[in-house]
Chains A and B, each alone.
Chain A
Amino acid sequence: MQATLRWIRADLRARRGQAVAVVAVVAGVVTALLLSAALLQGATNPWQGLFSATRGAHIWLRLAPGTETGVLRSAVHGVTAMAGPYQAASASVVRDDAKQPAELRAMGPHLPAIGRPLLESGHWLSWARPGGVVLESTYAQALHARVGSVLDLDNLDGIAVARVRVAGIAETSDQGFYPDQAPGLIWVLPGVLHQVEPRGDTYEVVGLQIASPAGTAPVIQQAVTQLGTSAVEDVSTWQQVKQSMARRDPLLGLVLALFGLVALGAAVLAIINATGGRVLVQRADLGMLQTLGFTPGQVMTMLVAEHGALGVAGLAAGLVAARLLAPGLLGQVPGVSAGAATLPLGWSLLILGGIEVAVLLATAVPGWRAARVWPVAAVRPVPPQGHLSRLARAAMASRLPPAIVLGTRAAFVRRLPALLTIGGLAVPMIMITIGLGFWSTLDEVQHNPADIGLAAGLTVNRGTMSDAQSSQLISRAPGVAAVYRSVQVTALLPGESTTVTTLGEGTSAHPYPFRVVQGRLYRAPEEAVATQGLLDVLGVHVGELVQMPFGGVLVTFRIVGRIIDPQYDGQVLAYGRDTLADEGAAAPPFAYSLILRNGASPAVTQEWLQRHSGGRLQVTQTVNPADQLGVVRYMIAGVILVLALIGLTNLMTASLVGIRDHLRDVRVLRAMGLTPAQVIASLVARTSVLALVAVAIGVSLGLAACTGLINLAARLYGLGAGIGALPGGLTLAIAIIIAVLMAGLTAVVPARAYGQVPAAGVLGA
């Protein structure tokens, strides 16, 4: 034990830089994974993070005013804590000539312990600011309100009764996001509530935290029994809130999942390199320790203990870094709030545990290999053996430069190290290729929005203008290539209480140019195309029939094709507008979808239309979700850089080890009359050949995996296969050239030193 500790201490002291590097790599990996997982969590399952960050209540009850709620604590079995009761009233906020419904919830100046709103900006309520209110954050977004904005509140009768100032914006897990769940939530001081609703037309809300979250139903049943049916006006459970918050943006989810995959690969590689490399370079010392009396088991234990401790230090540092960076970084990603991007403890522990296991394995495997070798290997270095292969002899005979032939041959003399070098570079290259493919997919989506159902650059609502006038104006507008009339109709899902968005785009004879990835576009009435997300929800395949109720009319569609459209949660059904008329279903007023010419600026057309219609046409630009993923590009670029560094480190180790192995050869070659330049060339050739093989393998496997992986992830996120793109030829060529050049360069520097080795003293070493 004493000896083990002594060795660990000496090793940490002697190779402090490497030890710090291991800690830094682990810390970096922990930080990156925690942040990515939090981001993924925030993007795909925001409820979880919000619920734990706000110490949310599992059940919310809306009660008649004056209901005695004490009984909920005392007589309902399973209730562990209670939020409220809070007095609340309905109102609406008038903004941009539109009314947005709101619930005013009266609270005091102190944040409650349960169902605690999570302040995103500004301040909580305070007696010092009696007119100050706090808005729920998605409601604030819908209102375009910021801290300091002034809002006019109407009461239920539509009479403007109060003007308040936004003091803060907060997140909550009490209810789903606005406008999916309305009314929007505004926290106010009791004074504001009385000002809006002086007649006392209010209600009470109360939140219950329960012992077993899965069993909401029996608790609700007991509560209703205790309070009386008439007292309970409405009930919502955490499951409902979670469902309403889930999967808001399949594209973001997809992007983050893919990123996580590549990052995870990079992380494991980085750890293997940092710890495994640290063990590999000391194999001679480990053998020596065995001659001193360390058993193989002791050597293993010692290495695992040392690196395990370094790993734990890295975990701690990474945890701290993630905590510090999270608020700033996660807030930058559109659609993800810092509160939602809070990882549950279990996830964090899983990530930390997984990384520690990776560290231990990355140490134990090379440690075990080093320890089980009889110690003689450490004290009697075996010179590389081998002979000129027939191929090499033929190459020499054909007057290829001998330096190149000798270098190429040297690369494969020791098969295992050669394979390890190739693997060490090929694996990062696979990941880089996938990362580049992922980049191209984003490019594709961003530059060809038609691929994801966003062919139209502008949408025009005619408002008070007639169809004839509007059409005439649009036909004269600059940059317009084609116009489709479209309607958006909400339909109830058969057998479910949720609705989906359906789009009547163009007509069966003149369909909107969706990109169909499977089957074909609708060509006749009652034909439709759908996204994978919708097919999954309906449990149907392309070619099958589906019935949808539109208002009171049941319309039967044959789904003839599959499209990709990340809007509306990725659940879209599209068909010709004429289908609705044929079936006698009521259709809302149509809008115009304008497809612009290549290169035309949507802003110019938008401005032209607004100006020439005297502001009567409402023209909106289509927002491409990929445009908002800029931050993800930085993340991909970062991961690619890390992977490149990993590859570079592997190459440097490979060339150093190779050169050390062949120092004797170098001296012989010099003695045989090779010039220093030829010696350098042979050493560079040695590394470059391995790099070339590795790059070829890495790129081929990466390309093979690329589309498949992206499609798989896209399917998981409801987008369906067909979105994946391969990296561009030029990008790939540049990556390959850089990789091989780097390989050559890593060999040149040490090779230059060895090229100068004098021919004398060949047998000295």
Chain B
Amino acid sequence: MRSLKKLFLFSLTFCVSSFASASNYTLVLVQGFQPSTLGTPVIATQVEQKGTAYWNAFWGARSQVRIDWPSQERITGRIATDYVWPKLRQMSINGTCNSGCIFLTHSTGDLVTRYILDNQALWLTNAGLQPLNIVASFDFGGAGGGSELADIAVNLASGSSLIDQAGRLAMSLWLGTTPTLATLGVLNDLRVNTARQLAPFPDSRVPRLRFAASASDYLGSTSLFIPGEDDGVVSSHSSCGASTPDSFDSCSRSVAFNGKLANQSRGVANFMPQHYPMLMSAKYSHAATVGAQPKGEITAANSNAVFLDSGRLNINTYDETRGFWIFSSRYRVVTDSNRLSMSELVARGVN
């Protein structure tokens, strides 16, 4: 009887272990906004080619399924009907997510995924198909909270002749062109209010794991128009998953983007439902978060570890005999982040 019990316990442990093994899950990539597809209508094969190129740097070779979409369309419109739905349907028919899927998103892919999480079960059930089993999402530079740049771009497209030159320059650096009303597409969805009202609270309680950055690809020109710390495209209120679009300096109340352990009075305290900040870095830009190149140290937004102890380096003192202050700072650094990219760290964690 005891051996039977042991066998049962062993089987149970084995089942849970294999069940829980992250590498068993199908990785589904959901791309972000691509300015190059804004102006000109593209056909489905071109969307797929651009999707391949989008993930070419790192994740493309590591995933089995992608949901590609063109930026000149709206999320609830043709992106949903012509690009998302055929993939969801196919994944359901093929049983792609029967054991579980992990969605890995970049930028606006975060918003597209939130819309999927809120609707896929009902859509597939109504079509007589099995809903997808989505276990978690990894969101790099998530734009689910919208981008203030999109609000400016849409205003510029309306013919705002008085928009300041710095704003115009930032838009041209980001988009590569001046948008027109007819070519705004998904930029309409990326406006802060519109983004935050799109499927804001899915029932499914899928954990949204956030990977945020605060360097810029645009020489800081776009950062002038984005509140708080930003990655050149989205504010930390979005990438961290904050519940309000305010000016935040960190995804954490106790560690800065550069890893410095100190009270962050403007750190995010309240998050959107099931949004959890994971990694932050002051060295990565919006695009670099899904790239292969290591850019520098990365810090953990959450920790059980107690770093703020009374160790010698946390004592700030004035040395009277020599007349100088000693200020000590402590930085939390994720192991190997000096030699591995943010994406590589995540990939190694999953496998």
Report whether chain A binds chain B: no
Which residues does A use to contact B, with CB under 8 Å?
Answer: none
